[in-house]
Structure 1
């Protein structure tokens, strides 16, 4: 039985972009047309049917915004929630000065990681959205491409640059052009980046599906460079919902559903057959759903493949490819830990979700120990850091 918890490598955290990001990293010829930081009042802010409803109001509470083309993007307290009491983690606008400094300052983030028993952290974007949808939706794609590259330069050189490998770079691609995406993967891999963020369900963004073959050059370059494809819940720009007028708690409770749907897509797509070294990571989706999903996928493959369109496409039971190539992660999921033999002791990783509402900060060590109590030391090591090190090719234990 494990007597103490190894220092954690969190595979899903978040960063609030500093106001100087694009002024510093975007080439001068694009800056006037690129994202502009602004502090201004906020008016209506609601979350209805999986979408935010937002307005500006000069008389409203001061909020930090990004203004980009026709987009007005405010930072909200629920995405910079650490440091607030649970009942204060509301849908209200917030400025960087009101946030805990670790949200946007890398030195302060490292200090908060030390407080939280965390050695390494992979951070998803906020203003660009989880896989860069903000730039994919922009009208001027020349500027948008420059913004993707500027974000990646900031991520690698500034956010992660002085961290000694503790802040792990996670880069964007230009989602609207697969050949440009391949170039960006190669550019970042050449400087040591081993993680890219991608949409869990590209068709929800109006992009080709993974079944078309359109994304095969992207999958090929990720395989060739050892770049992990990370798919965060919400990276399809919509959260699962039941009734359109349901409270946001419904979407929050169902947030794993898109990850489950996405995994089924991949298991039956042939992508993992064609690219046997490609690694996929499902971020913030938890893992308690994985055992039944795998059981059902294998049953469908065995019983329905003659009419189900996969008889010649997927030669082995789908779970084969899951155990070989897919990683999940958890932070509050005792059911998933109890099912670890099926989830896969080599497939599960841990996250802290700093600084979102769900974050375990500053109690991560206590919460993690409560989950892994009774597990052997080797398994605890794998869950807390070993699987993340292997997945991302990290140097932290070498």
Structure 2
């Protein structure tokens, strides 16, 4: 059997970083120590707060794997703190050790407490100067992680989604700092900015295309998508079943982002722009692309004529998907061929719920070995290496 890590540099396209409690306070300019996000005790529980009393959210461990390496259901672990969670969730040295142990050359990182798409800052920090400073400090910290890891840790820079101009500015700053992509909320209209179909965002798309910064949309990266998460399940279900329902539906919520981006004509105006649908799987993509073709002709034939191609034809040139558990009835190759073997990247979601743990490459070895060798190499690392310029 092929030893996956011996055949290719394996790149994990979706993992999560639990923010250190001192992340902002140790980097705060004079006068901002008590204004920037920090962790305080509220009724015996640690909370991320901003300014004097603005709550961002509980300061949780952000994972389902504990310090001893035991994995628990989400509902049984979600309220545990940073002292409980696996050290690799927040300590970059421990993360690199974990990667070495499990055969990963590199991992892409997304935040936790600040909002998976950075929406926690956009929606909870109101002062414009403090907003910008919070984003800059966080992204500077991420750049440090990438540098100190020798580009094995690849965080995606969060964007100040409340302002197109601020996003353009921060994307340029991120590119100069060596970032390999940006992390965007799917619903900037929540913060008072235009929605992503608005032409004002062309300024950001142009910069991202020119600077080779793929735009990443992680599931749960907006209040809108998280509200869906909390409403899909039937209330009387067992508490452990609720995140199973909500988590599954979050995958499909990213189909909303893909279809909107295509219908909005973004890729006709920016033919070199790349986007990534993160932690949403891939099995839904062929069906939703067929749906996009059918529905636009049924409901908006005039707008369909304004696109240069059928909606389904845009995906392979502009979008990437990540997956970790799908089997497609034992014929994974067929599914990858339908999505596009150059458009699929492997992920583990460590240390979040549903993550592949404790031995992620062994968990997928049988499925990966059944793929064509060139497909296997692309999915496990070559496509990500090309996208992220490794």
What TM-score do the two structures reach when normalised by structure 2? 0.89
* Cα distance in 1 for residues equivalent to 2:63 and 2:350: 9
Give the unaligned 5+ runs of structure 1. 41-55
CA contact (8 A) 1:35 1:67 kept: yes
Q: How far is 1:302 from its partner?
A: 5.2
Q: How far is 1:286 from its partner?
A: 0.5
Counterpart position of 2:172: 186
Give the unaligned 5+ runs of structure 2. none
Counterpart position of 1:280: 275
Q: How far is 1:197 from its partner?
A: 0.5
* Cα distance in 2 for residues equivalent to 1:356 and 1:116: 17
Distance 1:132 1:87, change over 3 A: closer
Question: Considering only aligned residues, what root-mean-square deviation do their CA atoms show, in Å?
Answer: 2.2
Secondary structure of the residue aligned to 1:84 is coil
* Cα distance in 2 for residues equivalent to 1:84 and 1:377: 33
Counterpart position of 2:24: 22
Q: How far is 1:310 from its partner?
A: 2.8
Question: How big is each residue's C-alpha offset from its partner over 1:333-355, in whole Å with a ceiling of 9 and x where there is no partner?
Answer: 11283411111100000111111
* Residues 306-317 of structure 1 mapped to structure 2, 5 A cutoff: 306-307=301-302, 309-312=303-306, 314-317=307-310
Secondary structure of the residue aligned to 1:29 is coil
Q: How far is 1:72 from its partner?
A: 5.0
CA contact (8 A) 1:264 1:297 kept: yes
* Residues 374-393 of structure 1 mapped to structure 2, 5 A cutoff: 374-393=370-389
Secondary structure of the residue aligned to 2:200 is coil
Q: How far is 1:236 from its partner?
A: 1.8
Matched pairs, number: 371
More helix by share: 2
Counterpart position of 2:343: 347
Q: How far is 1:117 from its partner?
A: 1.6
Q: How far is 1:22 from its partner?
A: 0.5
Q: How far is 1:277 from its partner?
A: 0.6
Question: How big is each residue's C-alpha offset from its partner over 1:305-327, in whole Å with a ceiling of 9 and x where there is no partner?
Answer: 525x3321x11112221110100
What TM-score do the two structures reach when normalised by structure 1? 0.87
Secondary structure of the residue aligned to 2:353 is coil
Counterpart position of 1:12: 14
Question: How big is each residue's C-alpha offset from its partner over 1:229-274, in whole Å with a ceiling of 9 and x where there is no partner?
Answer: 0100001223334357363332112121211111110111100110
Distance 1:321 1:34, change over 3 A: same
Secondary structure of the residue aligned to 1:368 is helix
Q: Which moved more, 1:326-335 or 1:77-86?
A: 77-86
Distance 1:252 1:99, change over 3 A: same
* Cα distance in 2 for residues equivalent to 1:285 and 1:105: 26
Distance 1:259 1:182, change over 3 A: same
Counterpart position of 1:170: 156
Counterpart position of 1:79: 63
